[in-house]
Amino acid sequence: MHGNKQHLQKDFFLYNASKARSKSYINMREISERFRLPPNEYVIVPSTYEPHQEGEFILRVFSEKRSLSE
C-alpha cells in the first residue's frame, strides 16, 4: 500500500483491525494522544463527530526516533 493514492474501501476497515484510537470520542477542537507502535505502515483516519460532515484537519505526527517519510 506504500505510496498508494487511492481511497480505502470499506473492506479495508473490515479486515484490518485498529492499532490505536482516542480514549474518548468527543466533540473537541483538538485531540492529542500518545501511542507506541512498532515500525510499520499505518493509516491515520481523521473524522468528524457527526457523520457525513466535511471538516478541515491539521495532522502532526511526532517520532522520538528518526523516521523516513515521503
Mean pLDDT of 42-69: 81
pLDDT value at residue 11:
92
pTM: 0.61
**Residue that wins the pLDDT comparison between 12 and 63:** 12
Q: Which of 12, 10, 17, 22 has the alpha carbon at shortest distance from 47?
A: 22
Q: What is the pLDDT of residues 5-52, one digit of tens each?
A: 678 888 988 999 888 887 777 777 777 888 888 888 888 888 888 888
pLDDT for the residue numbered 17: 86
